[in-house]
């Protein structure tokens, strides 16, 4: 069993926002808080609303109602609320000069926007959408890079009671079209072009091609980011600087039922079309704000950045979390390693970022450049490091903790999903941490780990991660397909959400993830997660990343194939292959020796940095890879053909 690598100092515990909440509730220990929040979800979420000071224009009369079953639970019944009012308007009213957003362009230009200025831009965009005939309940696509415009556009759509559809800014036309078409979007906010690694990439051309397959879109508003003067279709296309700038800067926030949808955000399925997860004003606001406050410890004095895109759930998560708590959101354009491998650490130094969120995949890639790009920059402003995306490997985790965070910043490792909108599992900065752990169930989440018989597994055993009770930000279904939602999450055990992740809890109560349950290998009759193979591989000095899959075998049933990306400047030869094999055998045993070890230049990843192992397995076996629209570089799959 792993030992504790970080223990919170007394001053960290004392200043933590969750400590203030515990004192208010008369709770002395974080373990007691976790148990009570899990046992009594009505008490917990009602206390969160009061503690964080959300403004309901009409108070709710019931915290939650699951009379139609846990899968259709309604929250904050009888109340009226508006997400944008709580994230923008009330701060503009109380502290209009407070900095809301800092945006840095790829070439290093900086734009700073106050809450008062953000409210004015939100209102202008909202009035522009109303002028175009967008009505409450209609969907509006958001195909923009991380920028002040995407933040203001998101809040404007929500404010008027329409529904935002965030789309990855790097998608191709087919992926954009699929989402706009499925959502039935009536309008689209986009940009003329954006810089990517020093070259302009036209978003308007992608949007135009997508709209040929998405006829429901009647209006397109184009932000003139690079001044490329794209072709504009009369009657449909509008210049942002003409349409939006001429609108009034005042727009009251209408009081809305907390169950009013505010976003449809897409996640790729194993097969078939992407799933549009529906999220609502009340539940999304309350749950995300609670997580940012109690888990990542964000407050009004913080500068908060997550390396993400608006099309990944962490984009709306950081936007709403920062806004709800009155913090300063830091956004950057372009890649975190361009124009050099120190770009991210330069952002930390320049903007005094205090809470930084990353993915394990990003850290594995940046670690390949060595320590120097990190050590060249002042990181003293950092006090919280956070992560999500997929399970950690120990070596990159330690590098983030020891080199980047100087052993003083806890890694708040979160896990949830697009449909969850938030986190199932997460530590808090008031608890000791073990390496790679996810800590405990996120507050208010009734988590468990079940075996095939539906009973809880013993400590240390791996089983299915499930949630036994509803939570405020749970998706209100799959857009346009209620049955698909029930089949995907509620069909295995009655009244229990099954998420599709393998998890375990050690004897000390620390939680861990072991990958997707549909990625699990069965080698020599033993079930094992791909992350265990991959963690062993990246312990080799010459390996930057790895991907393990199970391949059918006539004698053994299934064997492991391991695909490794060498470190920069390392020759992928037989000696490295032998080192990888020896490391895996030493760590996992001879029975788990990889049947094949192959070297590749990159792994197929989504734009949220998750390795798509099913696509690798399909390429190896010649099967159907399922939905690949979220892949950052689909061409990389050409390296994963059957062995010769």
In a domain, 227, yes or no: no
In a domain, 287, yes or no: no
- What's the pLDDT band for 390 if we cut at 50, 70, 90? confident
Between CA 380 and CA 200 the distance in angstroms is: 34
Q: What secondary structure, in 3-state letters, does 146-201 show?
A: CCHHHHHHHHHHHHCCCEEEECCCCCCHHHHHHHHHHHCCCEEEEECEEEECCEEE
Maximal CA-CA distance, the chain: 72
- Predicted confidence at residue 440, as pLDDT, reads 98
State which residues form the domain around 555.
Answer: 527-640
- What's the pLDDT band for 530 if we cut at 50, 70, 90? confident
- Predicted confidence at residue 271, as pLDDT, reads 43
In a domain, 233, yes or no: no
**Residues 102-117 pLDDT 10s:** 999 999 999 999 999 9
Yes or no: say if 181 and 214 are a contact pair by the CB < 8 Å rule. yes
Residue 592: pLDDT over 90: no
Residue 300: pLDDT over 50: yes
Please state, rounded to an integer, the average pLDDT across all residues of the chain: 93
**Residues 205-236 pLDDT 10s:** 999 999 999 999 999 999 999 999 999 999 99
In a domain, 110, yes or no: no
Segment 347-368 shows an average pLDDT of 94
- Predicted confidence at residue 54, as pLDDT, reads 98
Residue 515: pLDDT over 90: no
In a domain, 367, yes or no: no
The secondary element (H helix, E strand) that includes residue 46 is helix 41-52
**Residues 464-498 pLDDT 10s:** 999 999 999 999 999 999 999 999 999 999 999 99
Q: Which of 114-128, 488-502, 522-536, 554-568 shows the lowest mean pLDDT across its residues?
A: 522-536
Between CA 202 and CA 213 the distance in angstroms is: 18
Residue 612: pLDDT over 70: yes
- Predicted confidence at residue 365, as pLDDT, reads 86
Q: Give percent of the chain above pLDDT 90.
A: 77
CATH number for the domain harbouring residue 617: 3.30.300.30
Total of domains in the chain = 1
In a domain, 361, yes or no: no
In a domain, 588, yes or no: yes
- Predicted confidence at residue 643, as pLDDT, reads 54
- What's the pLDDT band for 270 if we cut at 50, 70, 90? very low
In a domain, 630, yes or no: yes
**Residues 153-211 pLDDT 10s:** 999 999 999 999 999 898 888 889 989 999 999 999 999 999 988 899 999 999 999 99
Segment 316-337 shows an average pLDDT of 96
**Residues 31-59 pLDDT 10s:** 999 999 999 999 999 999 999 999 999 99
Residue 607: pLDDT over 70: no
How far does CA 420 lie from the centroid of its chain?
10
């Amino acid at each position: 069993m792993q030992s504790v690598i970080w223990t919170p100092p007394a001053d960290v515990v004392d200043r933590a926002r969750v400590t203030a909440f515990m004192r208010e509730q008369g709770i002395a220990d974080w373990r007691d808080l976790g148990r009570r929040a899990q046992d009594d979800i009505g008490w917990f979420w009602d206390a969160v609303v009061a503690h964080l000071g959300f403004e309901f224009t009409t108070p709710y009369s019931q915290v939650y109602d699951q009379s139609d079953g846990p899968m259709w639970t309604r929250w904050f019944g009888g109340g009226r609320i508006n997400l944008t009012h709580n994230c923008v308007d009330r701060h503009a009213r109380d502290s209009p000069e407070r900095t809301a957003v800092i945006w840095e362009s790829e070439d290093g230009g900086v734009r700073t926007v106050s809450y008062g200025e953000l409210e004015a831009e939100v209102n202008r965009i909202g009035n522009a959408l109303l002028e175009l005939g967008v009505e409450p309940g209609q969907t509006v696509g958001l195909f923009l890079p991380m920028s002040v415009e995407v933040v203001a556009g998101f809040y404007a759509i929500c404010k008027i009671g329409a529904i935002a559809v965030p789309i990855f800014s790097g998608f191709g036309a087919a992926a954009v079209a699929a989402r706009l078409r499925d959502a039935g979007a009536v309008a689209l906010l986009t940009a003329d072009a954006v810089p990517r690694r020093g070259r302009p990439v036209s978003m308007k051309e992608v949007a135009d091609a997508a709209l040929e397959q998405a006829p429901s879109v009647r209006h397109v508003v184009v932000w003139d980011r690079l001044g490329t003067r794209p072709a504009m279709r009369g009657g449909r296309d509008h210049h942002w600087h003409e349409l939006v700038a001429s609108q009034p800067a005042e727009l009251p926030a209408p009081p809305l039922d907390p169950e009013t949808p505010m976003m449809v955000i897409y996640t790729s399925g194993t097969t078939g079309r992407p799933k549009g997860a529906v999220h609502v004003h009340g539940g999304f606001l309350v749950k995300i704000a609670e997580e940012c406050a109690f888990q990542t410890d964000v407050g009004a004095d913080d500068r908060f950045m997550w390396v993400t895109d608006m099309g990944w759930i962490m984009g709306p998560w950081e936007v709403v979390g920062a806004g709800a708590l009155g913090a300063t959101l830091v956004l950057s354009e372009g890649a975190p390693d361009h124009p050099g491998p120190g770009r991210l650490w330069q952002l930390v130094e320049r903007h005094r970022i205090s809470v930084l969120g990353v993915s394990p995949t990003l850290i594995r890639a940046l670690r390949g450049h060595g320590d120097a790009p990190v050590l060249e920059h002042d990181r003293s402003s950092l006090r919280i490091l956070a992560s999500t995306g997929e399970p950690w490997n120990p070596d990159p985790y330690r590098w983030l903790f020891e080199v980047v965070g100087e052993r003083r910043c806890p890694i708040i490792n979160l896990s949830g999903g697009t449909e969850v909108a938030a986190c199932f599992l997460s530590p808090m900065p008031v608890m000791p941490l073990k390496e790679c752990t996810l800590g405990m169930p996120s507050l208010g989440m009734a988590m468990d780990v079940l075996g095939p018989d539906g009973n809880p597994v013993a400590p240390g055993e791996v089983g299915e991660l499930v949630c036994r009770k509803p939570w405020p930000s749970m998706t209100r279904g799959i857009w346009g397909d209620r049955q698909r939602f029930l089949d995907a999450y509620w069909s295995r055990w009655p009244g229990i959400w099954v998420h599709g992740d393998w998890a375990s809890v050690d004897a000390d109560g620390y939680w861990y993830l072991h990958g997707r349950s549909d990625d699990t290998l069965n080698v020599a009759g033993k079930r094992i997660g791909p992350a265990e193979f991959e963690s062993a591989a990246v312990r080799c000095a010459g390996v930057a990343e790895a991907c393990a899959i199970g391949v059918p075998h006539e004698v053994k049933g299934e064997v492991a194939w391991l695909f490794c990306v060498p470190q920069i400047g390392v020759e992928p030869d037989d000696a490295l292959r032998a080192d990888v094999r020896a490391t895996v055998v030493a760590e996992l045993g001879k029975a788990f020796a990889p049947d094949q070890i192959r070297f590749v230049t990159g792994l197929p990843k989504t734009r949220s940095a998750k390795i798509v192992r099913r696509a690798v397995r399909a390429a190896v076996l010649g099967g159907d890879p399922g939905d690949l629209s979220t892949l950052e570089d689909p061409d990389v799959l050409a390296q994963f053909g059957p062995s010769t």
